[in-house]
Amino acid sequence: MLIIVSEDLFARPQEVTDTICGFLDIPKYEMQGVRVYNARKYPPLDKDVREKLHQYFKPYNQALYDLIGVDFGW
């Protein structure tokens, strides 16, 4: 399984595409550009709501980090 972080794809599209092609064992593909959809500003989340969500998802996020060996800092 290959997990690609979208922020990495937007920041370094050719490098990430090369990684994908290598993982799939297919010829490299020359990127023509990457469009970012739904990139807009949102109002800040209420601090109490953010903390409740953080605490709720904390064990699930940790299990994911342990499984794949990557900590996304969620």
Question: Digits of tens for pLDDT over the chain (74 positions)?
Answer: 899 988 898 888 899 999 999 999 999 989 887 777 777 888 999 999 999 999 999 999 999 999 999 898 88
Q: Domain map of the chain by residue range?
A: 1-40, 41-74
| Spatial CA neighbour of 72 closest among 22, 14, 8, 1 | 8
- Record the tokens describing residue 42, joined without a space: 């949102």
What's the whole-model pTM score? 0.64
Residues 69, 15: Cα–Cα separation, whole Å? 21
